[in-house]
Amino acid sequence: AQTVTQSQPEMSVQEAETVTLSCTYDTSENNYYLFWYKQPPSRQMILVIRQEAYKQQNATENRFSVNFQKAAKSFSLKISDSQLGDTAMYFCAFMKGQGAQKLVFGQGTRLTINP
Amino acid sequence: DGGITQSPKYLFRKEGQNVTLSCEQNLNHDAMYWYRQDPGQGLRLIYYSQIVNDFQKGDIAEGYSVSREKKESFPLTVTSAQKNPTAFYLCASSVTGTGGADYGYTFGSGTRLTVV
């Protein structure tokens, strides 16, 4: 079974700083996808970024980028020029490339951006 | 606009009662999912369905039941057998095939269930 681990329960940075959230996963699959979801205080889950395991290039979406290290099974999220609206829970998630597309989530990291 | 509607937003259950959480989507997605969210544990999969009239147990199905009689609807019943039902419940949907990985899930806004 796949597992996803987020070792930072809480993080806090000042507005405009850069912050990196860590995520490691365990799988024997070779074809899979990784995601970062954001859950603001409204509790609505929002997809931030996704990465396909067979792509070596790290995904980027505006201020959000990932550092995908397949051999190390690491998938960290970097938020540049952080904004107050980035305050949220962030979840790392794994999906197998074949079969039922169940998302397996990490425990989450609560990120606070301070003014 | 297309989306997922969960109702009610807040639900209170007495000990020994069954309660049903509603999840409706108008996205024409084949797959639907129920997750439970507890503090410090992330989201855990309860049940999922990839097609009408078919569903599978997730990691924590005990004490829960579902049905999938219509493509648009995937209600979750929390039975009296669920010993610790107080949690936040999220419903999600996705396309099947590579689309599920391409676009991820669309989530509802959740139901907060409290046992009183």
CB contact under 8 A, A95 and B101: yes
What pLDDT is stored for residue B16 in this prediction?
86
Checking if the pLDDT of A48 tops 90, the result is: yes
Q: Which has more pLDDT, B97 or A19?
A: A19
Q: Give per-residue pLDDT as tens, B102-112.
A: 778 999 999 99
What pLDDT is stored for residue B103 in this prediction?
73
- Rounded CA gap, B83 and A18, in Å? 43
Chain B closest-CA separation from residue A12 CA (Å): 17
Q: Give the A window 76-115 contacts with B, CB below 8 Å.
A: 91, 95, 97, 100-108
Confidence of residue A107 (pLDDT cuts 50, 70, 90): very high
At residue B100, what are phi and psi to the nearest 5 degrees? Answer: -60, -40
User: Which single residue is written with the structure tokens 């305050």?
Assistant: A87
Average pLDDT, chain A: 94
CB contacts, 8 Å: B104 with chain A: 35, 37, 47, 50, 103
B46 and B107 in contact (C-beta within 8 Å)?
A: no
Confidence of residue B95 (pLDDT cuts 50, 70, 90): confident
CB contacts, 8 Å: B100 with chain A: 95, 101
CB contacts, 8 Å: B54 with chain A: none
Q: Give per-residue pLDDT as tens, A58-81.
A: 999 999 999 999 999 999 999 999
Nearest to A92 by CA among A58, A63, A66: A66
- Rounded CA gap, A102 and B59, in Å? 11
CB atoms inside a 10 Å sphere around CB B44 = 16
Q: Average pLDDT, stretch B19-45? A: 94
Q: Average pLDDT, stretch A22-44? A: 94
CB contact under 8 A, A100 and B48: yes
Substitution target from A90, A102, A110 for chain B, most B beta carbons within 10 A:
A102
Q: Give per-residue pLDDT as tens, B40-69.
A: 788 999 999 999 999 999 999 999 999 999
Checking if the pLDDT of B98 tops 80, the result is: no
